[in-house]
Structure 1
Amino acid sequence: MNAATAFDPWGGHELPANDNRPQTRGKPIMIGLTGLRNVGKSTVARLLKDEFGFTPVHAFASGKEATRAYFIAIGFDADEAWEMVYGELKDVPCDRLPGGVAPRYFLEKFGHFMGHTLGVDWTLGMEVGIVRRRSPRAPIVVESLVYEAPWFKAQGGTVWRLERPGHNGPAGVESDAVQAGIAADATIAAVGVEALKINVRRAAQQMIGGE
């Protein structure tokens, strides 16, 4: 018998499903993370995936893949395009892009178009739908809520705001300004990664009824 599989939005591969997945009687648990850039949203999403069996979802996952394909189409090689979308080149100014902007500029503009102009049905709604078709009862963690927060809460999702005291995030990031107005159900603050993990474990255990 083949092992159950779950989608990994970071690698785009089928992976063995996590057997630690919490069992829920009502609607499946959905946690959405919001907060400034570089406060630990990816770290928290990975922890919930690895330790509690959540399926991670990113509202712009398919948009990122479309952006990677676009960068390849305009002349970057596959490795460069990957780094521009997912890696170390994302925030590096590039003289091959108009105005010498960093790739994040395009990602932000394209993300705004998909999330604001097209709407949530084309972003988070689509990504959640992919998971639900594969595993209807899977608990979900959304790595970064921005324009999708009202829809997410209407679906029964819980919003966690992550904060790192003293951290202001990169300047001029439009999505940071949008997320600041999101009404969170809980705030998790921590100065360092280990403290963040401890606080997240505690909050997750309380939510799923763990020990």
Structure 2
Amino acid sequence: MTSKRKPIILGITGHHNTGKTTAAQLLEAHVDARVMAFSDGIYAEVAKAFSVSIIDLASRQGKNQPQRLLALHNCTDKAFVQAALPHAEGDLLTPRSPRQILEWWGTEYRRAQDPYYWVDQTLHRITDYISKGCTRTIVIADVYKLGEAALIKAAGGTIWRIERPGHEERTAHATSNEHLQIQADLTLHNMGDISHLQHLVLTHWHELKTHGHHHTTEAA
């Protein structure tokens, strides 16, 4: 009897707007990858608590734009409001941006309750996916914390880092900077157009499928 083939598990880290989501979408389109995110649960919970759509929360154009619907007094989860108030200086009425609310929800609220809250949720989804016999590549394109990277490694996965010139800035929020401490197996330098990125992603995915882990290498 032959054992079932386990899926490739690939985590992608790097600064914001370097091409991580695009890389995941390319793998979804060209190798039928199953795209997941540690932030999936954050979006779902925030959307429910504020009665807004996940699409609006995830819109890149509106991510930093304050919205009246995201003022804290519109939130039905009072425990979140209490957790956010010190950071909001007690202001319940000021419109907040999706990025601000998502960061507070992810870190100041849920991770303050349990540092592995989002990791455990994602682990459950991966385990459930594999238990059903699914073998499609799993891609998680928002690996920003050490615990998230550790989960992928523990599951036998690989970490890619994507770098793009001009997107090296650091931000004040801890979630945005912790990824700098993650040791990637492969660094992809996104220095061209989407065709260049597609070539990089698909070439190294095929190498990963054929040969297994990379060992701290660079690819341009």
TM-score, normalised to structure 1, is: 0.74
Unaligned runs of 5+ in 1: 1-23, 73-77
Please tell me the residue identity of whatever aligns with 2:96: V
Mapped pair 1:40 → 2:19 = yes
| Identity across matched positions, percent | 24
For residue 57 of structure 2, the aligned residue among 85, 96, 118 is: 85
1:146-185 matches, within 5 Å, as: 146-147=144-145, 148-168=148-168, 171-185=171-185
Tell me how far apart the structure 1 counterparts of residues 30 and 43 of structure 2 sit (CA, whole Å). Answer: 26
TM-superposed CA distance for 1:100, in Å, is 3.5
Unaligned runs of 5+ in 2: 72-91, 212-220
Please tell me the residue identity of whatever aligns with 1:92: Q
From the CA coordinates, give the structure whose radius of gyration is larger: 2
1:58-73 matches, within 5 Å, as: 58-72=37-51
Tell me how far apart the structure 1 counterparts of residues 100 and 31 of structure 2 sit (CA, whole Å). Answer: 34
TM-superposed CA distance for 1:141, in Å, is 0.7
Mapped pair 1:104 → 2:77 = no
Work out the number of aligned pairs and report it.
180
Mapped pair 1:197 → 2:198 = yes
Q: What residue in structure 2 maps to residue 129 of structure 1?
A: 127
TM-superposed CA distance for 1:115, in Å, is 4.9
Q: What residue in structure 2 maps to residue 17 of structure 1?
A: none
Q: 1:116 to 1:162 in 2, by over 3 A?
A: farther
Please tell me the residue identity of whatever aligns with 1:86: A
Say which SS state the counterpart of residue 150 (structure 1) adopts.
helix
Please tell me the residue identity of whatever aligns with 1:30: I
TM-superposed CA distance for 1:55, in Å, is 0.8
Mapped pair 1:207 → 2:208 = yes
Please tell me the residue identity of whatever aligns with 1:52: V
TM-score, normalised to structure 2, is: 0.71
